[in-house]
Amino acid sequence: MLTPNVTRRSLILGGGAALLAAPALIRGQGTGFMRDPFALGVASGDPAEDGFVIWTRLAPDPLDQHGGMTMAIAKVGWEVASDPNFRTIVAKGEALARPEFAHSVHVEVEGLGPMRDYWYRFTAGGAVSRIGHARTTIAPGKPLDRLRFGTFGCQRWQDGLYTAAQGLAAADLDFLFHYGDFIYEYGGGTIVRPGLPTTPAVRASAGQECYSLDDYRIRYAQEMADPDLQALLAATPMYVTMDDHEVENNWAGLIDQENDPQEVFAFRRACAFQAWYEHMPVRKAQFPLPGAVRVHRSRGFGDLVQANFLDTRQFRTDQPCGDNYQPLCAGQDDPNATMMSVDEEAWLDRNLMDHGARWTLIGQQVMMMPIDRRQANEPQRIENMDSWAGYNVARKRMIARLAKRGDAIVVTGDEHKHYAGNLLSTDGAKAAAEFVGTSLSSGGDGSDPKPGVTPPVLTHNPELAFYCYRRGYLVCDVTRNTWRTDFMVVDQVSKPGGAISKRASFAVEKGSPVLHAA
């Protein structure tokens, strides 16, 4: 947890049973709702030193077109307390849940104390939500000795259960970083993957593939009703970004996989952006404007960590070489190819100047290491053109930035596998460490290598120190001299009862980007 240089009393997170309990039943008669309007739970996000966002959405019938709500504005009360029993209310108010935004509510709570635990809840029509928990941060530059956070993402409903979320919820973390793919746009009750036979889904997605605003809203509603995910979001505040499946697989800027007219895809993308905003605990700064939504943002955690959360999807150019896993091609070296907008690159350059923190976090979506993906018997190098490997000039520019800092850690998702490795400069020197977190469920149960057999990816990529094809998440434990990342896995997601365990830990010492087993 957040620990300042000065001694302070440990916070007791009492009320855990209430925090992780099922949503509250509607109390008494005359509530105005036939069912629990808080069926999608509560969440908090973008914590700062004086507050955070708290979120909910009124949806007594989540899979209904309008969530079971009438098309009218509804009043929602909210309270924040310094104790889980709400004996001391420190902030309260009333928000309007508007039908234009699926009756979602985003309250930016301010005026709270730094590095403290708070509890919050909502009320509407006599109904009371479950209790959520959030923790404030500390102002940039203030003394800070320790920070613990978790990363997760890539939760495909059809592929499996979100058992791994149970471990994250119980980990007592300062915050979560969600690297993207909160939903998958695919519909139906089967799983289709390129080159593999179609298989039955572990659980079916509601509806067909998402195209309209209603489609995306229903998909988020199904997602948010998952009990494990709901408990996690109620337990820990989150900085959330997005990747491709919030809209469509491997989209890039205004280009989709079907090569639709850009104005057509722009409309679909705008629907997806609105649904993302409606269901994520984000600030007004992330409100979707015509044609775009601001995903990238930064947060300083005392004098310990300067975090930069990137957007590598919305303004990138089209993937080279036909996209997906391909042999090397000339398009990878296109000097005009970009992963981020000019404005975002300039923003990052400013943030990477002398910010005074011990560590620099780059939280982003797709792998920065140019991994050779070929199998054991394939003679030719294969790379993922949807990752930074498809944008070599931009990738080299980014690594040069990080090498100049000397204290950068890159945290990534998308791959549905765990990786730990080093980013190499053009001269082969180790510039930074990259920790890649696997998926929450995408890819199904996964597997372990056969005893005595080294996976080809480790054979072909000496910069890699670790690889694991299981579901799970990362926990990063940062102190003034060491950054340690724990690779957590769950042994199955295809049925209940999966066991969560730590598969490996790797660390980086302050002053050297070289990974070592911890």
DSSP strands (E only) in 208-358: 238-240, 297-301, 305-309, 325-327
383: part of which helix (H) or strand (E)? strand 382-384
**Cα 29 to the center of its chain, rounded Å:** 39
Report the mean per-residue pLDDT for the chain: 93
Backbone angles phi, psi at 150, to 5 degrees: -120, 155
User: Which of 386, 82, 67 shows the shortest CA–CA distance to 250?
Assistant: 386
Helix (H, G, I), strand (E, B) or coil at 96: strand
Backbone angles phi, psi at 228, to 5 degrees: -70, -45
Between residues 20 and 70, the one the model is more confident about: 70
Q: pLDDT tens-digit profile of 299-313?
A: 999 999 999 999 999
CATH for 1-136, options being 3.40.50.10300, 2.60.40.380, 1.10.3720.10, 2.40.50.1040: 2.60.40.380
User: Domain boundaries in the chain?
Assistant: 1-136, 137-517
> What is the spatial distance between Cα 514 and Cα 463, in angstroms, rounded to a whole number?
10
Q: How confident is the model at residue 1 (pLDDT cuts 50, 70, 90)?
A: low
Q: How confident is the model at residue 290 (pLDDT cuts 50, 70, 90)?
A: confident
Q: How many residues does the chain have?
A: 518
Which residues pair with residue 190 across a beta bridge? 200
**Cα 321 to the center of its chain, rounded Å:** 28
Inter-CA distances, 90 with 106, 136, 239, 283, 323, Å = 18, 14, 23, 20, 51
Overall fold of domain 137-517? Purple Acid Phosphatase; chain A, domain 2 (3.60.21)
Helix (H, G, I), strand (E, B) or coil at 15: coil
Q: pLDDT tens-digit profile of 31-78?
A: 578 899 999 999 999 999 999 999 999 999 999 999 999 999 999 999
Q: How many helices (H) and strands (E) does the chain have?
A: 8, 26
Residue 102 pLDDT > 60 = yes
Helix (H, G, I), strand (E, B) or coil at 76: strand
Instruction: Find the mean pLDDT for residues 431-439.
Output: 98
**Cα 493 to the center of its chain, rounded Å:** 19
